[in-house]
Amino acid sequence: MHRQVFAIARITFVEAIRQPIYFVLIIAGGILQFFNTMLSAYSMAYTDSAEVTRDNKLLLDMGLATVFVLTTILAAFIATNVLSREIENHTVLTVISKPVGRPVFVLGKYLGSVGALLVAGGIQLVFLLFAIRHGVMSTTAESFDWPVILFVSLAVFGSIGVGAWCNFFYGWVFSSATITFMAPASLIALLATYMVSKQWRLQSPIVDFKPQVLLASVSVLLSMVIIAALALAASTRLKQVMTIGVCGAIFFAGLLSNYFLGRRAYQNTPIATITAATPQRDRDGDLAEPGDLWKLTFEGAPRVQLHPGDPIYFGPVPNGLGLAVPRQDPFTGDPTHDAEITTRDEGKALVVRSVASDEQSIVIANVGGLKVRGLPTKGDFVFRTPTRVHALAWAAWAVIPNLQFFWLVDAVSQAHSIPAVYILLIMLYTIVQTTALLALTVMLFQRREVG
């Protein structure tokens, strides 16, 4: 079976890169990255604490958005040409009439499509890295980065020249021949650019290497894996225009799902924000034993008045997602008496023990040994009630691919380090979403009339 999958994937990949629209959108991406260096010159952002500074922050934002949008459009075109057009022309019968199962056919088509999409996205991201190395010319006093201009010109125009030569003398398809040479040539050109400074002095490639920008770019590439599966699923039943429409709708829904669905899936109202959390009496420092006491300092007075005995919840998200405190039992005793909180048998809770006179700090007590999943930290939100889950919004939020997970520009521009564990989590999310979409594709294609 793996030979059949590989053969179908290889043919699909070749078909995809031979499409004229494939070459056109890649070149369009490069041209747009060039114009982005001029259009992002007025962001008025002058902080210098991140890998990208000043106007280059907007350049990174616009550049990654360009790659995001163009690859979504390209995914719809590729999926339409490699699947729905074959169904419409009945050429798919030549494959599935042989001992090739439809799931194998779908998997091969997907692997070929996502391979072509990753190549196109990779080339466009290399163009973005060239643009970031050149930087935005915010003032007339700044000079051009001639190594960038020279090496990117050699890579692009050299590849176009080689593609035209091979097309004229050997009959190769111009678009596929050009892209075949442009993919490695652009990477070599980027490496050569990193080894030369703006003043044409040799330097270590690490000087201009930006690992956080690279992680943000890899995250965008991961999103293309989901977009390719989505486009293939739509193309099993729809034609090109409708496939593009569905991909565009899911694309924008995925970017806005946190706002429209995520905040409604988990509903809670924060009453305060923690600015400091210190243990008052906690031998292990885990806030998990009966009688453990912690002091919480707030950013201003809470929105509601707190009293001793009130339940307390806290978590990192203002809508109550991921609370560190599990649902607790009602507390009716006196939290100021140690005997009430250390030897309580009928329930476990995390409650207010005392409130400061200015109401900007409280002491919380663990009653009966409630097992909290984390400690309160600066920036956490405080709640009085457990989070309510809206089942319908939660289901829609889980089903629709959440592309906001892959948008890490804010972390890079605000100088927040992207944890490696986060990349692993979005890789796992990509696998789950892709598997679900491929299963849907097989279901839609299994009963599709192709004769």
Beta bridge mates, 349? 367
Q: List average pLDDT for each run of 10 residues in the chain, which is 451 residues long.
A: 87 92 94 88 60 81 92 89 78 74 90 95 95 81 86 96 95 94 96 93 91 92 93 88 88 89 90 95 90 94 93 93 90 87 79 93 93 94 94 91 91 86 94 95 84 61
Q: Which of these three, 361, 386, 411, is where a domain ends? A: 386
Instruction: Indicate whether 381 and 430 sit together in one domain.
Output: no
Work out how many domains the chain is built from and give that number: 2
The Cβ-side half-sphere exposure at 153, using a 13 Å CA radius, reads 6
Tokens of 380: 């956490």
Instruction: Indicate whether 313 and 168 sit together in one domain.
Output: no
- CA dihedral for 94, 99, 104, 108, sign (positive or negative): negative
Instruction: Indicate whether 290 and 417 sit together in one domain.
Output: no
**Coil, strand, or helix at residue 384?**
coil
Instruction: Indicate whether 284 and 406 sit together in one domain.
Output: no
| Residue 162 confidence (pLDDT) | 96
Instruction: Indicate whether 173 and 292 sit together in one domain.
Output: no
Instruction: Indicate whether 230 and 336 sit together in one domain.
Output: no
Tokens of 276: 């400091």
Judge whether 393 lies within some domain: no
Instruction: Indicate whether 256 and 310 sit together in one domain.
Output: no
Judge whether 243 lies within some domain: yes
Q: Using an 8 Å Cβ cutoff, are 236 and 441 in contact?
A: yes
**Coil, strand, or helix at residue 302?**
coil
**Coil, strand, or helix at residue 215?**
helix
Instruction: Indicate whether 151 and 9 sit together in one domain.
Output: yes
Distance CA 235, CA 87 (A): 10
Judge whether 392 lies within some domain: no
Distance CA 75, CA 231 (A): 6
Beta bridge mates, 276? 297
Distance CA 210, CA 361 (A): 42
Judge whether 420 lies within some domain: yes
Beta bridge mates, 362? 296, 355
**How crowded is residue 310: how many other Cβ atoms within 10 Å of its Cβ?**
18
Instruction: Indicate whether 278 and 249 sit together in one domain.
Output: no
- List Cα–Cα distances, 296 to 340, 342, 374, 375, in angstroms: 21, 20, 14, 11
Judge whether 292 lies within some domain: yes
Judge whether 378 lies within some domain: yes
- Global pTM? 0.84
The domain in which residue 198 lies consists of 2-265+398-446
Give the rounded distance of the alpha carbon of 365 from its chain centre.
39
The Cβ-side half-sphere exposure at 268, using a 13 Å CA radius, reads 25
Judge whether 451 lies within some domain: no
Instruction: Indicate whether 378 and 303 sit together in one domain.
Output: yes
**Coil, strand, or helix at residue 199?**
coil
Q: Using an 8 Å Cβ cutoff, are 444 and 109 in contact?
A: no
Q: Using an 8 Å Cβ cutoff, are 222 and 173 in contact?
A: no
- List Cα–Cα distances, 8 to 14, 92, 240, in angstroms: 10, 11, 21
Instruction: Indicate whether 326 and 230 sit together in one domain.
Output: no
Instruction: Indicate whether 281 and 339 sit together in one domain.
Output: yes
- List Cα–Cα distances, 265 to 320, 368, 398, 412, in angstroms: 10, 31, 10, 28
